[in-house]
Amino acid sequence: MSSKTDDTDQRTGPRHVAIIMDGNGRWAQGQGKPRLFGHHAGVKRVKEIVRASPDHGVKYLTVFAFSTENWKRTQAEVSGLMKLFRRYIASEARDLLAEGVRVRFIGDRLQLDAKLRRVMDEIELLTSGNDRVHLTVALNYGGRDELGRATKRLAREVAEGRLSPDAVDETTLARFLDTCFLPDPDLVIRTSGEARISNFLLWQSAYAEYEFVNTLWPDFDATEFARVLAGYGKRERRFGAVPA
């Protein structure tokens, strides 16, 4: 495993992988089970992918757990998911700490239940000294919502005279995003066969590679993860330039 993680590293694997974990509901329904059964199975997969990440040089893993649009689901599904997140974060804290995982959240927390927010804050603090792999969980996250909140904060800085409008450029705006501590994703994977981004990391994925796989998230295992990462290594990223 390479210990180099700077931007100039000529690695073939992605440094930051972001995953839209989709297909839990269909996975459960295919077995005649309630949708929450699929969410339980899906949450368990996260651990396997987090554990596999350092083996492939993936330093940053970002997973989409709940979108700002997911509130449109039934109250039973939403509250079941929130309870699942709270229990899972609390029960995994010790293992994540021991395995060198630094956990952080992106999204609008203020709308989340106080008990859930508490376990989120606790695990962020608990794992803040870790650096082996950075797991970011997008919870109540939407790309447009994030840009709206960032713009509001930026506008406040301008209004209060701390920031000149002339100084505002893309680097400035990026500092106000939830993801200010993260490099841009190199690879975005979406499971379940849907080929859309559903409001995930809109700004950050400007030059990401995308991989859409048919597997439903609860079936997405470390072997398939390795296969997708190997495919990424064969791509040529040009960033607008003509290759030499």
The residues carrying an active-site annotation are 22, 70
What's the number of CA atoms in the CB half-sphere (13 Å) around residue 32? 0
Looking at residue 183, the DSSP 8-state letter turns out to be: P
Check binding of 92 to Mg ion (CB under 5 A). Answer: no
Give the residue with the Cβ less far from ligand IPE, 20 or 154: 20
For Mg ion, the closer CB: 22 or 211: 22
d(CA 221, CA 240): 33
- Please return the burial class of 238, using the count of CB atoms within 10 Å of its CB with bins 0-12, 13-18 and 19+: exposed
What is the smallest separation between the CB atom of 151 and Mg ion, expressed in angstroms? Answer: 28
Burial tier of 9 (Cβ tally within 10 Å: 0-12, 13-18, 19+): exposed
Verify binding: residue 65, ligand IPE, rule CB under 6 A: yes
> Per-residue x/- marks for ligand IPE, 186-225, CB under 6 A?
------x-x-x-x---------------------------
Beta carbon nearer to ligand IPE, 30 or 233: 30
Q: Where are the beta strands (DSSP E) in 31-156?
A: 60-67, 101-106, 133-141
Q: Using CB distances below 5 to 8 A depending on partner kind, what does residue 179 bind out of Mg ion, ligand IPE, none?
A: none
Name the token pair of 97: 């700490």
Of 14, 16, 17, 21, the one binding ligand IPE (CB under 6 A) is 21
Residue 53: which of Mg ion, ligand IPE, none does it interact with, CB under 5 to 8 A by kind? none
